[in-house]
Amino acid sequence: NAGVTQTPKFQVLKTGQSMTLQCAQDMNHEYMSWYRQDPGMGLRLIHYSVGAGITDQGEVPNGYNVSRSTTEDFPLRLLSAAPSQTSVYFCASSYSSFEVFTDTQYFGPGTRLTVL
């Protein structure tokens, strides 16, 4: 199993550009999520999905869109990049959205995004 994969590893954008961060998992996980990690802020949840076709907003959803057409893929779209979106983005997945006490969230390696 490749686990959770993310592409690209690094990206530089100009203000106003759009792009899609890719996330895929091969573990048949039901639950997938996107976080951003900023210095001194920890990881903050952007969007999450409890299954194909079902998505919901997290703590910091503004400026981002998601969709989940398959179990494996959960792309994150930046609609019009802003310098405030400079961050490290992590995708995560787990088998179930409910079984917290027996479950493990697996994180991808991250995408480092800089918006100029």
For residues 87 and 40, what is the distance between their CA atoms, to the nearest angstrom? 12
Site string for another protein, 43-62 (x = CB under 8 A): xxx--x-x-----x-xx---
Q: Which is nearer to another protein, 17 or 50 (CB)?
A: 50
As to burial, measured by CB atoms within 10 angstroms (0-12 exposed, 13-18 middle, 19+ buried), residue 111 is buried
Q: Which part of the chain contacts another protein (CB under 8 A), choosing from 16-24, 60-68, 71-79, 95-103?
A: 95-103
Mapping DSSP to helix (H, G, I), strand (E, B) and coil, where does residue 101 land? helix
For residues 104 and 90, what is the distance between their CA atoms, to the nearest angstrom? 15
Residues that bind another protein (CB under 8 A): 4, 31, 35, 40-45, 48, 50, 56, 58-59, 90, 92, 97-98, 100-101, 104-105, 107-110
